[in-house]
Amino acid sequence: MKTARGIYYDLKESDYYVKLNINSEEIVLYFSSLFLRKKFLENVSKFISTENLKMNINYKIDLDATKLLILSFYKRIEKRGFRVLINNKEIIDSNLSLIII
């Protein structure tokens, strides 16, 4: 149920989401509020480029960790839960290490 201020405390009920296509995979991220969705969209590109650059400088490797970084940034932004679908399959927060492979 959405509050009077437009916040969902249960992400399974939320209709605030972002669909991304990364390397032919569809990633759907659900948000508890329009504010957090907007904050994510405004900052995710800069976060990805900054973190990829840090990995390149610190470890001297050219690695595209876009999918992992999107999920990492999502976890930083969304504090009321975690709901992510990749190719229509729900991903559980504890299974994030499986996505790296």
37-70 pLDDT per residue, tens: 999 999 999 999 999 999 899 988 888 889 999 9
Record the pTM: 0.88
pLDDT at 7: 97
Q: Which of 51, 16, 55, 48 is nearest to 32 (CA)?
A: 16
Q: Where are the domains of the chain?
A: 16-100
Quick one: 16-100 is in which CATH superfamily?
Answer: Phi-29-like late genes activator, P4 (3.30.70.3560)
Element (H, E) at 53: helix 34-59
